[in-house]
Copies of this chain bind each other. A is one copy, B any other.
Amino acid sequence: MSENVVQRLRDEIENGIISNDFAPGARLDEVQLATRFGVSRTPVREALMQLNAIGLIEIRPRRGAVVIDPGPHRIFEMFEVMAELEGLAGSLAARRFTDTDRTAILAAHADCERSSSAGNSDAYYYDNERFHKAIYTASHSGFLAEQCVALHRRLQPYRRLQLRVRNRVATSFAEHGAIVEAILAGDAEQARTLLRQHVSIQGERFSDLVATLASR
């Protein structure tokens, strides 16, 4: 046994949900999962309970587990909260960043520039994640960073869709530039505002999201 069966199962199933391998609404059968992963039902159940606690699936008593379908409105609400948390992280980062933080932020930003100008939206997705995580770290609030990472992860599939819309990568990168500037200048309020706007989904971006969701 490599590490921890339950943890492995939790990650596998979570990834399956995030990668849309288990579509929203799909029923997660315990024995099916157990045989598929070559374990017994017990660890499968424990993994499912964890996913239930996180809010990725719903367990209806005596009726099994299904993948939750957030729906466009709830996704919007989640981005709204994410924007607020990112804004806080940015404002704290502007006041507290260290030399290592600055190096990490600039490095991630440089990588974003590469993948952005290369037009590689998949690469940009990962570099963008690193960029944002660098800001969480620079906030020097462990709890905030954890919350951000968790929410970021849950929003991962939709964020990815967003990057596919025309020109989004370019504008995203441009916004990053201003954010870096504000943080390194120590302008907490500016960093907060810019990050909030950067993350939140406003105006036509919401229609884009709904349209992309519907086309799946």
A212 to B: closest C-beta gap in Å? 20
Partner of A53 from B45, B50, B85 at Cβ < 8 Å: B50
Question: CA A53 – CA B146 in complex, angstroms?
Answer: 12
46-68 of chain A: CB within 8 A of chain B: 46, 49-50, 52-55, 61
A160 to B: closest C-beta gap in Å? 20
Q: Does the CB pair A147–B61 fall under 8 Å? A: no
Number of copies: 2
| Stretch touching chain B among A29-37, A74-82, A94-102, A179-187 | A74-82
Question: CA A186 – CA B80 in complex, angstroms?
Answer: 19
A55 to B: closest C-beta gap in Å? 8
| A42 proximal to B (CB < 8 A) | yes
Residues of B within 8 A of A142 (CB): 74, 77
Residues of B within 8 A of A80 (CB): 88, 141, 143-144
In which size bucket is the chain A interface? 20 to 34
Question: CA A6 – CA B50 in complex, angstroms?
Answer: 12
Q: Does the CB pair A49–B6 fall under 8 Å? A: yes
Q: Considering only CB atoms, which chain B residue lies closest to A52 in the complex?
A: B50
Question: CA A25 – CA B84 in complex, angstroms?
Answer: 33
A73 to B: closest C-beta gap in Å? 8
Partner of A50 from B50, B144, B146, B147 at Cβ < 8 Å: B50
Q: Considering only CB atoms, which chain B residue lies closest to A192 in the complex?
A: B84
Partner of A46 from B46, B54, B78, B88 at Cβ < 8 Å: B46
A-B contact list, 13 entries, CB within 8 Å: A3-B61, A6-B49, A49-B49, A49-B50, A50-B50, A53-B53, A74-B143, A77-B144, A80-B88, A80-B141, A81-B141, A84-B84, A84-B88
